[in-house]
Amino acid sequence: MNKHSRSVSKKTTHFTRRNFLKATSLAITCASFSGHLLYSGIASSSAITAQLPKQIKHINYFEYQVLNHLMTIALPVRGTPLPSPKQVDAMVTLDQALLGGMEAHVLAELKQGIKFFEEGPRSNFQNKAFTQLSASQAIKFCDNWANSDFPQQRGIVMGLKKLVSLAYWSNPATWPTLNYIGPISKRKGIPALGNAPLPL
């Protein structure tokens, strides 16, 4: 992260997190799945919940691991001036802004989709779950599913990639590298017109 984007990030972090905390976001599609798969070793114990970062409220530890792994391989920043997803707290944005306002039944379907996605690679990647794949394997798995013959696989990978991408790119700290300024009305002091005059 360069000096410029660090400076922007400091100014915008408070605004963006406050707004993201108040207002959830974004068009996310994710095919619903009514499967009965379990994570290997999944359990909802307080010990496992305690390993979650403090700010994460809407997903459990294993769901966090899946989404975090996806975010890491889908958004590589090495060799660019871009901040890493960790530097902009993208997982917190994802949890609080994107998942926090979801209707309960939609969030439940998404969680089923995450399970399905985690178990998805086993048949073609030596019985490994998604979180066990190397970066190159995970990328290959995602690209395969994007072009799968099965609509659930296409829908889930498209939806999950949109989630992690939006959680990252909606943060203004990522914009300076793109030469995108963002909101300009306040920056330029453009005055508000108020309500239109009554028709005569």
User: 28: buried, middle or exposed (CB in 10 Å: 19+, 13-18, 0-12)?
Assistant: middle
198 near another protein, rule: CB under 8 A: yes
CB of 48 to another protein, least distance (A): 28
165 near another protein, rule: CB under 8 A: yes
CA 151 – CA 154 distance, rounded (Å): 5
Among 9, 17, 11, smallest CA distance to 174 is for 9
CA 98 – CA 23 distance, rounded (Å): 9
Which of 35-43, 58-66, 117-125, 187-195 is the region at the interface with another protein (rule: CB under 8 A)?
A: 187-195
Which of 37-45, 50-58, 60-68, 162-170 is the region at the interface with another protein (rule: CB under 8 A)?
A: 162-170
Cβ-based nearer residue to another protein, 5 or 165: 165
CB of 160 to another protein, least distance (A): 11
Buried b / exposed e along 73-100 (16+ C-beta atoms within 10 A): bbbebeeeebbbbebbbbbbbbbbbbbb
Total residue count of the chain as it appears in this document:
200
96 near another protein, rule: CB under 8 A: no
14 near another protein, rule: CB under 8 A: no
186 near another protein, rule: CB under 8 A: yes
The set of residues, in sequence order, having a beta carbon less than 8 Å from that of 110 and lying 6+ positions away, is 30, 99, 102, 159
Q: Which residues bind another protein (CB under 8 A)?
A: 16, 19-20, 22-32, 73-77, 80, 82, 97, 101-103, 105-106, 135, 138-139, 142-143, 146-147, 151-152, 154-155, 157-159, 161-162, 165-166, 169-170, 172, 174-175, 177-186, 190-196, 198-200
